[in-house]
Structure 1
Amino acid sequence: MNDYDVAVVGGRAAGASTALLLARAGLRVAVLERSPVGSDTVSTHALMRAGVLQLSRWEVLPALVAAGTPPVRSIDFAHPDGATAHVSLRPSPGVDALYAPRRHLLDRVLVEAAAAAGADVLHGTSVTGLLRDDDGRVLGVRAAGPDGRDAGVRAALTVGADGVGSLVARETGARTLGRGTEASALLYRYVSDLPVRGYVWAYGDGAAAGLIPTNAGETCVFVSTTPARMRTLRREGTAGAFERLLDAVPATVSDTVRSGGAGGRIHGWRGLPGYVRRPYGPGWALVGDAGYFRDPITTHGLTDALRDAELLSEAVLAGIDGSSPEAALAGYQLTRDRLSHALAAVTESVCRYDWDSDGIRTLLRRASSAMSDEVEHLSARLPPHPAVVGTSRGHPRPSSSRDT
């Protein structure tokens, strides 16, 4: 007998969203997250239109707005030749503005919504391994709670939402289907009192920067370049590297950053080439960075996580409703890859940092087209799956773990 229909390893954006949607549909869901509730994590925060659309459809966007997340209604681009472009965002159904919530807020709102829908959320719980049957099918997880004692959590399906170092991907041997060769190394900090109301993206001499308004009157300011150049610059100190890269982007942006209040602690990301993994197998599936990672230079990772949470939840529910579970998960993979391919290719090109003004304009147009295709796909979809008709309390009960 399974403890749960689905065990989700990881309670950040991808995992909490998946748990929320499946619990709302009536499944018995457990979320196992090693970090404390309300903790922060590395992020550029920026949500694109597709991500905001998902949050709006799930009715969790109002909580983020009520917590003081500022609306973003414009995007400014600064190019290497000094030219600038201003784009005003037009409201669309479900998206009156873009938002960039701090992760300690976004992840908490999502995981609380999952708990309100009936999911069991276990913070401070580290997954240490997978449970399997004699044929190697995943039957759940082994986990250590806050008291340090190991326990088994059995589930018909185990979802790895545990990031780039995914234990679920590693232990299942999830095959890498494609891997990039380029990466960005980033430094970022929060700066108060900047005169910034929208997203600002700047491209300069082998470097880029972004200004992203977020909560508490702060702006997330990042600078980025190739990992090799970042290693060289950081030999002279992290603060010096931040300033040198800020000097490499158009002065309209660097001067704006320096006009603000004191900057907070500098955080870093050394860079990792993008990859795509096969996101499912016997008794398991992957979502978020565990299954697909794209460099943060195009600030689309959070949007990917929310999108794929809905695609995966729909596939899981389709399998329960009567179609072949494996065929439904294969469809999840095909849709994920189709929606990701164009932007992944653009991101790889941006990460070379060898563009001139005309080159980066072309890449940005390609990125915008890819994002528009994604929004069109999501906008045409039905609302999230209604509750599944099952046994008591609306919970479907697979007769064995082999049913999912």
Structure 2
Amino acid sequence: MNSYDVVVVGARVSGASTAMLLARAGLRVALLDRGRRGSDTLSTHALMRPGVVQLSRWGVLDGVVAAGTPAVRRTVFHYPDGEDVEVAIKPRHGVDALYAPRRHLLDRLLVEAAEAAGVHVLHETAVTALRRDPTGRVSGVSATGPGGRTELAAELTIGADGIRSVVAEQTGAAVLWQGRSAGAVLYRYVEDGPADAYEWAYGAGAAAGVIPTNDGAACVFVSTTPRHMRALRRSGVEHAMTALMREAGPSLVERVRDARPVSGVRGWAGVPGYSRRSWGPGWALVGDAGYFKDPITSHGITDSLRDAELLADRVVAALYCDEREEDALAAYQATRERLSRGLFDVTEGVAAYDWDADGIRNLLHRFSASMRAELEHLDGLAVAT
């Protein structure tokens, strides 16, 4: 049996980042994922400033830039009353642009950084059960992979395995609070040429966006309530995509129509947001496993990077600084809740699709204020380390 300080289940953004940070602090870490190395996944791609700041601080942003990910230097908002507002991305906190990398790139870079720090990475390895000691404390995982069954013992097991987290399920992690809004999304990739702006459009009961990403492509999405999406999809996904683009962003219709598709239309039915209890004896949750909100505000990757650092900071305090594990993990969750609740509440409002022009402006201003609080906290962590 292999023994580690920490086993992390899930090697996407949150899991790979957490594993990397813990290994850089000197811990023995294993990182497992049931998927193939370098595989893609559903994502909004767009990184907000707090996430770019962290990637830069960790030395990962250079790889994102070297892969040709376009630098985003403007954000354009198209409002329901016809007003278009352009906001320049000014140099702050050590970064002068935003980025929206494809997930097969970003996840790979984070896994490679984890491996460089000494993490033992196992892809195509699925956790089948949590191990427990005689007191009931989680003490590692049982898993199956290319080499058959494996047992990994650990002082702490971290679930970074998404909405349908095995770790959350098997620990009985309770939902502490849950939202009601759940937007339905359609998206595709189009050949968009050089672009340097995130574009967000808000119409009557619908939203849309254009996000420049790798290989000269942009991710184009439309979103609305599940009920409205179901009605439109009865005439096919192409009809739904076009109709929602007209409803959300008439100014984007012609540009998107003339762009060459490089993928089919894909969909996401929507899941209400939630916060789960994210720690217990021998276990913790990070990323979507512990906290999830609707993707309409494109903050999911940034959430995952933030929470990886919040958790790693407290795990190191527990293992190296004689802080009681329960106190350290409770502090992690309390900080995450404090930084997340404002973002979550605003996202709930946007994903309800019942706002007017003034309402969506107000929601987006509140969202920006909540992100400033994130940056201030992350700056404090950087100084502390």
SS in structure 1 of the partner of residue 261 of structure 2:
coil
1:95 maps to what in 2? Answer: 95
Q: CA deviation at 1:262?
A: 2.8
Q: What pairs with 1:148-187 in structure 2 (closer than 5 Å)?
A: 149-187=148-186
Q: CA deviation at 1:381?
A: 2.4
Preserved CA contact (<8 Å) 2:211 2:220: yes
Alpha-carbon RMSD across the aligned residues, in angstroms, is 1.3
Structure 1 segments unaligned to the other structure (5+ residues): 386-404
SS in structure 1 of the partner of residue 38 of structure 2:
coil
Q: 1:240 to 1:263 in 2, by over 3 A?
A: farther
Q: What pairs with 1:137-156 in structure 2 (closer than 5 Å)?
A: 137-147=137-147, 149-156=148-155
Q: What pairs with 1:135-284 in structure 2 (closer than 5 Å)?
A: 135-147=135-147, 149-194=148-193, 196-284=195-283
Distance in 1, matches of 2:2 and 2:119, equals: 15
Distance in 2, matches of 1:379 and 1:269, equals: 34
Distance in 1, matches of 2:133 and 2:255, equals: 59
Distance in 2, matches of 1:354 and 1:57, equals: 39
Q: Deviations over 1:234-255 (max 9, x none)?
A: 1211111111111112321222
Structure 1, 172-181 or 187-196: larger mean CA deviation: 187-196
1:399 maps to what in 2? Answer: none
Q: What pairs with 1:267-346 in structure 2 (closer than 5 Å)?
A: 267-320=266-319, 321-346=321-346
Preserved CA contact (<8 Å) 2:70 2:195: no
Distance in 2, matches of 1:317 and 1:231, equals: 47
Preserved CA contact (<8 Å) 2:194 2:216: no
Structure 1, 106-115 or 318-327: larger mean CA deviation: 318-327
SS in structure 2 of the partner of residue 45 of structure 1:
coil
Distance in 1, matches of 2:284 and 2:248, equals: 41
Preserved CA contact (<8 Å) 2:60 2:110: yes
Distance in 2, matches of 1:123 and 1:38, equals: 10
Distance in 1, matches of 2:243 and 2:41, equals: 25
SS in structure 2 of the partner of residue 365 of structure 1:
helix
2:75 maps to what in 1? Answer: 75
Distance in 1, matches of 2:265 and 2:99, equals: 22
Q: Deviations over 1:137-161 (max 9, x none)?
A: 10100100124x2221111100000
Q: CA deviation at 1:383?
A: 5.2
Q: 1:295 to 1:40 in 2, by over 3 A?
A: same
Q: What pairs with 1:55-70 in structure 2 (closer than 5 Å)?
A: 55-70=55-70
Q: Does 1:348 align with 2:348?
A: yes
Letter in 2 for 1:370: S
Identity of aligned residues (%): 59
Q: TM-score, normalised by structure 1?
A: 0.93
Distance in 2, matches of 1:82 and 1:8, equals: 47
Structure 2 segments unaligned to the other structure (5+ residues): none
Structure 1, 300-309 or 259-268: larger mean CA deviation: 259-268
Q: CA deviation at 1:289?
A: 0.1
SS in structure 1 of the partner of residue 141 of structure 2:
strand
Q: 1:337 to 1:71 in 2, by over 3 A?
A: same
Distance in 1, matches of 2:26 and 2:283, equals: 19
Q: CA deviation at 1:323?
A: 1.2
Q: What pairs with 1:380-395 in structure 2 (closer than 5 Å)?
A: 380-382=380-382, 385=385
SS in structure 2 of the partner of residue 381 of structure 1:
helix
Distance in 2, matches of 1:130 and 1:271, equals: 29
Q: 1:140 to 1:384 in 2, by over 3 A?
A: farther
Letter in 2 for 1:164: I
Q: TM-score, normalised by structure 2?
A: 0.97
SS in structure 2 of the partner of residue 20 of structure 1:
helix
Letter in 1 for 2:354: D
Letter in 2 for 1:354: D
SS in structure 2 of the partner of residue 256 of structure 1:
helix
Distance in 1, matches of 2:284 and 2:252, equals: 42
Aligned residues: 384
Preserved CA contact (<8 Å) 1:69 1:215: yes
Preserved CA contact (<8 Å) 1:69 1:99: yes
Distance in 1, matches of 2:349 and 2:291, equals: 18
Letter in 1 for 2:66: A
Preserved CA contact (<8 Å) 2:208 2:249: no
Letter in 2 for 1:198: A
Q: 1:125 to 1:168 in 2, by over 3 A?
A: same
SS in structure 1 of the partner of residue 199 of structure 2:
strand
